Amino acid sequence: MNFTSPSRGNLSLDEVFVDVVAYIDDKPKEQYKLIIGTDSQAHNRQEVCFVTAIIIHRVGKGARYFFRRQKHHYMESLRQRIYYETFLSLEVATMVTAKLAENGHPHLNMEIHLDVGEKGDTKELIREVVGMVIGSGFQACIKPESYGASKVADKYTK
C-alpha cells in the first residue's frame, strides 16, 4: 500500500507511519488528531478515482497529510461509491491503529471523515455509514466537519 506526500514523494504505509510518529514526537505536548478520509470522483462514466488521505493534525498548529489514489471500474450507484469510500477509510484506519498499538501510541485520537452530509444526495446514507464507522470502533465525522474527505482527499480525485 503506497501513499504520496506532497513534500516527501511516494511512501509505503510503514514510511507514512514513521513520518506521523516523528511529527508527533517533535512536539509531544501538543494535541493531535489522526484523520482518515476518502473521496471519489467519476471520470467519463468509465472509471472512478478513489483517494484516501491520512492527515496528522497538530490542533491549531498545522498538519501533514498523505494520500493514496486508486482507480476502479465505473460505479453507477452513489450508495455503492459511498460504501466503498467508507470501506477504504476503515481499511487504512485499521492498519494504522494496529501500528499505533504496536509502537506505543494507542491513545492517539482518530477520526474517520465521511463524504456525506445533511444536504444533497448523500443525506439518506448518513446513518448507515456512520454506523459502519462507529461499529468498527472509530469516531465518525460528516460534512461540514469532514474536511479530511471533502477537502484533502477531494483535491486529488480530479
Please report, for the chain, the start and end positions of each structural domain, with discontinuous segments joined by +. 2-155
Nearest to 117 by CA among 144, 82, 86, 138: 144
pLDDT of 16-39, one tens digit each?
999 999 999 999 999 999 999 999
Longest Cα pair distance anywhere in the chain, in angstroms? 48
Give me the helix-helix angle, 78-102 and 13-26, nearest 10°: 60
Amino acid making up residue 126 = I
pLDDT of 2-19, one tens digit each?
999 999 999 999 999 999
* Nearest-5° Cα angle at 18, 13 to 20: 90
Query: In a 3-state reduction of DSSP, which class is residue 14?
Result: helix
The total number of residues written for the chain in this structure: 158
Distance CA 58, CA 62 (A): 5
Residue 21 grid cell: 510518529
pLDDT of 58-91, one tens digit each?
999 999 999 999 999 998 899 999 999 999 999 9
* Confidence tier at 100 by pLDDT (50, 70, 90): confident
Distance CA 26, CA 129 (A): 35
Q: Residue 61's CB: how many other CB atoms inside 10 A? A: 10
